[in-house]
Amino acid sequence: MRGKHSLFYHILIFVIAQLVWLSLLGIWIYWYVSNYIIFEKVGDQVSPQLVYDVQNALPFILGLILLIGLSFITALIFRHLNVQLRLNKLYDNFIGNVTHELKSPLSSIQLYLETLKQREVPAEKRKEFIDMMVKDANRLQSLINTILEISAQEKKKLLQDFRVYKADILVNELIKEACEKFRVEKENFTITGDASCEIAASKDGLKVVFDNLVDNAVKYSTEQAKIRITLNCNPKKFSILFSDLGIGINIKEQKKIFNKFYRIYNKEIPNVKGTGLGLYRVREILKAHEGKITVFSEGEGKGTTFKVELPTYDSISKRRLKKFLRNE
């Protein structure tokens, strides 16, 4: 509610400012036209020294340029404020999400430690507690690493370990690892298509891409996640269609899901955890590969398809290839 009031306030200020500039512009034009008409009617009756000539138009033109410039600057300031408001809102959401993500495993670890400290716990139960604490600690480490890696990625300090891979072999390996990591049963995912081309890629980077896609498919499925992957190559592009049968994405939100800190809320799955950084990170990694990702969904409840495209090794120029493989 506070955000809406703040936005309304800035819009009101902008509208008032524009009305002021337009009013001043109108007064300026009125002054100039009135003087012109007066000189046209009575110019021959006044002193010859008060002759109206073209130079009198100079103050008018300069004033007009000044007013238009001020109006344009005001519009730019308003646009900047509007962008900042959106960023602040996304930042607040991010802080809230990260705080929750950090607090949850920390609370769990604290609870287990207090239990171990205050009472005698059987050996079997103690091992279970320790395993859970290790799992929560790994979750914390993963979150912290994600934030640090995004920061480094934006400063172009990551993704320098490019190598040449057979596309189908690499993607099959990474997707199977991701499905095992996020407990997608073998019968619930299929990989089809012919992709015998080669690509220049960062294996670690693409691992993050497929981990996020599989993780999202699991999170946003009301039942067991079912994933279908189709691979295809042409002389210039290697493409991957990654489809799930999850809750789908509203058409209006499809353009926003790759934005930093943006998260989809769905009443069917209200407790989905995350920071809103996963798909943003995926997009930036693929940009570093000079590839891209797009999304398609017919709407809520109708599943989602992501299309990943990467340039083939043969289509990359020598200059770009040298940049990709500089650390090989």
Least confident among 48-62, 71-85, 183-197: 48-62
Domain boundaries, position 120: 1-158
pLDDT tens digits for range 155-198: 554 555 788 999 999 999 999 999 998 889 999 999 999 888 99
Mean pLDDT across 196-219: 91
Q: Which of 134, 158, 182 is a domain's end point?
A: 158
Q: b vs e for 127-143, b when ≥16 Cβ sit within 10 Å of the residue's Cβ?
A: eebeeebeebeebeeeb
Q: What is the pLDDT of residue 50?
A: 47
Q: What is the pLDDT of residue 288?
A: 86
The structure's pTM equals 0.61
Alpha-carbon distance of 151 to 170, in angstroms, equals 26
pLDDT tens digits for range 300-322: 788 899 999 999 988 886 666 66
User: Are 139 and 166 found together in one domain?
Assistant: no
CB-based contact 183:215 (threshold 8 Å): no
* Residue 125 pLDDT exceeds 90: no
Residue 10 pLDDT level (bands cut at 50, 70, 90): low
- Render 32-70 in DSSP notation, one character per residue: HHHHHHHHHHHGGGS-TTS---GGGHHHHHHHHHHHHHH
Q: What is the pLDDT of residue 328?
A: 46
User: Are 171 and 149 found together in one domain?
Assistant: no
User: Are 136 and 185 found together in one domain?
Assistant: no
CATH code, 258: 3.30.565.10
User: Are 199 and 314 found together in one domain?
Assistant: yes
Q: Which of 139, 158, 177 is a domain's end point?
A: 158
User: Are 133 and 189 found together in one domain?
Assistant: no
User: Are 311 and 170 found together in one domain?
Assistant: yes
Q: What is the pLDDT of residue 257?
A: 86
Torsion-angle region of 193 (φ positive above 0: left; ψ -120 to 50: alpha; else: beta): left
Q: What is the pLDDT of residue 42?
A: 58
Q: Which range, 75-79, 119-123, 177-181, has the best average confidence (pLDDT)?
A: 177-181
The β-bridge partners of 305 are 243, 296
Alpha-carbon distance of 19 to 56, in angstroms, equals 27
User: Are 17 and 137 found together in one domain?
Assistant: yes
Q: Which of 158, 183, 217 is a domain's end point?
A: 158
User: Are 252 and 174 found together in one domain?
Assistant: yes
pLDDT tens digits for range 256-274: 888 877 777 666 664 566 6
Residue 91 pLDDT level (bands cut at 50, 70, 90): low
* Residue 107 pLDDT exceeds 80: yes
- Of residues 88 and 38, more confidence is placed in 88
CB-based contact 97:263 (threshold 8 Å): yes
User: Are 116 and 173 found together in one domain?
Assistant: no
Distances in whole angstroms, Cα of residue 244 to Cα of each of 188, 234, 305:
10, 24, 7
As for how many domains the chain has, the answer is: 2
User: Are 146 and 213 found together in one domain?
Assistant: no
Alpha-carbon distance of 295 to 144, in angstroms, equals 27
- Of residues 13 and 303, more confidence is placed in 303
User: Are 170 and 262 found together in one domain?
Assistant: yes
CA angle 185, 269, 216 (to 5 degrees): 45
User: Are 31 and 154 found together in one domain?
Assistant: yes
Q: What is the pLDDT of residue 137?
A: 86
CATH code, 90: 1.10.287.130
